[in-house]
Structure 1
Amino acid sequence: MPPDAAQATQAAGTEGVPAGALAGWYTRLCRRLARGCMWLGIFGIVALICAVSWQVFGRYVLNSTPTWAESLALLLVLYVTMLGTAVGVRDAGHIGLESFLVLAPEGVRLKMEYLIHALVLAFGAAMAWNCVYLAQSVWSYRLPTLWISEGWKYVPAAVSGVLIVLFSIEHLVALARGTEVEPSWS
């Protein structure tokens, strides 16, 4: 085995699998997850529009406001927003500190990009951990209008935190390889 291939295999941590192949697999996984989140977000927005439309129709046409529609709309907003946030981290669609980095020397820029992605990763991990804790603490309570657990309000933030961690790892690997993370829809 050539020395470069042996180093790539050792870097991957798996016998016989080059680091580039493992990184490519991970990137494809993250892209699929992000696309899935976007499709769920689209369906969530459609469901949100339907719930709000039904609420308006019930209020002004039937003169009987469906109480569940508002609660469902609020819950859907949480899901759509949190999934969109995670995809925004992956596709670098968020407002970032990188705008000042274009003026920095290459070495400083690279170190700062590592720091930024590491901090985003830590934030995602803290968000996931704490939202799982919150969901567990209120799981026995019920949302009276939807007849589901109150914990479902914290599930999207926990899932988003896990996705943010995965997508931040993808960015750190891309930085280490000297590549860019391609947007999910490219």
Structure 2
Amino acid sequence: MSATLEKTGRVLSRLNTLVLWAAGTGLVLMTIFVAWQVFCRYVLNDSPSWTEPGAVMLMSWFIFLGAAVGVRENYHLGFDVLLYALPKGGKKWLRMISDLVALAFGIGMIWYGCQLVALTWGSVLPSLGISGGWDYVPLVAGGVLVVLFTLERIVLRLAGVPIDDALDELPPAEVAAELDTANVKV
């Protein structure tokens, strides 16, 4: 593997870790916001107006950031049934097709997300006092990350890096579940 690919991989790995931590932090903050909302509503009998829209916005962030991390770590959706019936060479091409679909989806997220941001930027979310466009910025950010991470996988596969070898050694999910329950000691 070339030095450029290795350096890019290290940068994207750090970005992936940062994004994962940001998504996790968003999940924790959202939980705190919802808990505060419940406490204020039922104990203080005075609900703050910002907690629900703030929690929903945080949820958008951690969902789209987490989805991008899932793409990089190969947890995105795919049709695994065919992978178990094909030889190794066919699996490589099916995974490439899956990555191309994820890439197209990421591009769509960016394109349509930018349109939504532009359409709503002039409005203000009254409970938060910020632009309505911020509701759709997570869609764009997640799309950018999905594109970066799928491009990385595509480039590595085309460069001949065996990124799929570890996946080929894993049993199907159904078999893995059976193996896991077979090893349970009572």
Alignment TM-score > 0.5, same fold:
yes
Query: What residue is the counterpart of 1:145 in the other structure?
Result: 127
> Which one of the candidate residues 76, 80, 103 is aligned to 1:121?
103
The answer to whether structure 1 residue 23 and structure 2 residue 5 are counterparts is yes
Distance 1:107 1:158 in 2: 34
Runs of 4+ in 1 over 6 A off after TM superposition: none
Paired amino acid for 2:133 = G
Unaligned runs of 5+ in 2: 167-186
Segment of structure 1 superposing worse, 71-80 or 98-107: 98-107
Distance apart, 1:132 and its partner CA: 1.0
User: 8 Å contact 1:139–1:150 — kept in the other structure?
Assistant: yes
How far off its partner does 1:82 sit? Answer: 0.6
Partner in structure 1 of residue 34 of structure 2: 52
Distance 1:170 1:145 in 2: 40
Partner of 1:71: 53
Answer yes or no: is the 8 Å Cα contact 1:131–1:155 preserved in 2: yes
Quote the offset at 1:32 in angstroms.
Answer: 1.1
Following TM superposition, by how much is the alpha carbon of 1:107 offset from its aligned partner in structure 2, in angstroms? Answer: 2.9
Could you tell me which of 92, 95, 100 is aligned with 2:77? 95
Structure 1 residue aligned with 2:92: 110
Q: Give the corresponding residue for 2:155.
A: 173
Question: In angstroms, what is the RMSD of aligned CA positions?
Answer: 1.6
Distance 1:112 1:94 in 2: 14
State whether residues 98 and 113 of structure 1, in contact with CA within 8 Å, keep that contact through their aligned partners in structure 2: no
Shift of the 99–174 alpha-carbon distance from structure 1 to 2, 3 Å rule, reads farther
Amino acid at match of 1:141: S
1:19-62 deviation per Cα after TM superposition (whole angstroms, max 9, x unaligned)? 61111111112111111111101211121111111101110111
Q: TM-score, normalised by structure 2?
A: 0.83
Distance 1:110 1:76 in 2: 36
| Residue 138 of structure 1: how far off its partner (Å) | 0.6
Cα separation, 2, equivalents of 1:168 and 1:88: 11
Alignment equivalent of 1:155, drawn from 113, 128, 137 = 137
Deviations along 1:67-114, whole A, 9 cap, x unmatched? 110110111110010100000011012332234213112332222222
Match of 1:10 in 2: none
Distance 1:43 1:116 in 2: 29
State the TM-score, normalizing by the size of structure 1: 0.83
The aligned residue for residue 174 of structure 2 is none
Give the length in aligned residue pairs: 164
Q: Report the 3-state secondary structure (helix = DSSP H, G, I; strand = E; otherwise coil) of the residue aligned with 2:47.
A: coil
Q: Which residue of 2 aligns with 1:13?
A: none
Give the fraction of aligned pairs with identical amino acids, expressed as a percent: 37
